[in-house]
Amino acid sequence: MRHIGRLRSFWPLAVVAVLAVLPYSALPLPGLLDGPIGSPGSLQLLALCLLFGALATGYDLLLGRTGLLSFGHALYFAAGSYATNLIMQEWGLGFWTSALLGLVFGTLLAALLGSVSLRVGGIAFSMVTLAFAQAGSILVTRDPGGLTGGEEGRAAGALPGSLVGIQHTANLYWVALGYLVLTVVVVQWAVRSPAGRVWEGIKENELRVEVLGLRPYGFKLLAFVLAGALAALGGVVHLLLTGGSTPGTTTSDFTLSLLVMVVLGGSGTRWGPLIGGVLYTWAQHRLADLAGAGTIAHLPSVLRVPLSQPLVLLGALFVAAVYALPGGVAGVRLRLRRGQA
């Protein structure tokens, strides 16, 4: 039994190994992907799924682990992307140096705004984070000094040659996979650390943590900064995958999408947010293809209008999933265990 338990503990490594060799696969998955797994289009979609799976995992440090409902997480994702892009183009630095500085900027921004937002709690905290995110979104769309590109966004500067072009899509996929692995490792390490146990206590009963002589503010700020740093790093990866910085990543709708991913997968669980992020991103892109299919145009208007709107389809699927899977996708395994017991 001990040997079986040890083997089970290594299954994540096996999954990572399988994911790592997917670019070499020519296996077609009709309905799931447009072409073979190793084709550029499929790898691009899979890379985005991995990216947002990791981003949702980092966001759950706040929502599922500490009980903090932030509506401004998109701000730090966008900060990593825009800062890296601007440093490359305005200061003329190389990508890797710019990425490091962009990560530092996003982390410091999270520390600064988090220190202010966490002075209040509950719904007030959520509204303050929303206000900061809205201010950031307005700043980007106003295009001060022609730096952000306004509503059109800004194309990336000189990226490494090995990460540009369709022929290098596999490299971008591996970058996204690396970001996912790093995020999962950091989150699991943090959750199992002494600080992680305090986060759990804050989520359950913050007053009890104070009675024990601990200061919840410092621990909540630590979770906020760590989640912000992971989001900023995700922004850098997104810059590589999309070839530019877009204002859509600064909006509160972007953070709401992360919230949906976490709830869909299972907030506060080990793998739930990751699964939710992957499923949501895949459905978002595939439903967009379905909405633009020629067969939709020949349907009666009562069906054609809602089916031609990807967000309508996505919303309907999410509502159905919430009712059918309370506790998220990760909760299915727990309910099966209880049924067997």
Judged against a pLDDT cut of 70, whether residue 95 lies above it is answered with yes
Could you read off the pLDDT of 266-305 as tens digits, one per residue? 888 889 999 999 999 998 887 766 655 555 666 666 556 5
Q: How much is the pLDDT for 319?
A: 78
Average pLDDT value for the chain: 87
Q: How much is the pLDDT for 291?
A: 59
Judged against a pLDDT cut of 70, whether residue 197 lies above it is answered with yes
Judged against a pLDDT cut of 60, whether residue 340 lies above it is answered with no
Judged against a pLDDT cut of 90, whether residue 65 lies above it is answered with yes
- Quick one: residue 27, left, alpha or beta (phi over 0 = left, psi -120 to 50 = alpha)? beta
What lies within 8 Å, CB to CB, of 176 at 6+ separation is 46, 47, 48, 50, 51, 54, 237, 241
Judged against a pLDDT cut of 70, whether residue 336 lies above it is answered with no
What lies within 8 Å, CB to CB, of 304 at 6+ separation is 296, 297
In Å, how far are 189, 190, 219 from 193, measured between CA atoms? 6, 5, 12
The CATH architecture of the domain made up of 35-340 is Orthogonal Bundle (1.10)
Could you read off the pLDDT of 143-167 as tens digits, one per residue? 998 889 988 889 998 899 899 888 9
**Which residue bears the tokens 């090995």?**
162
Q: How much is the pLDDT for 135?
A: 93
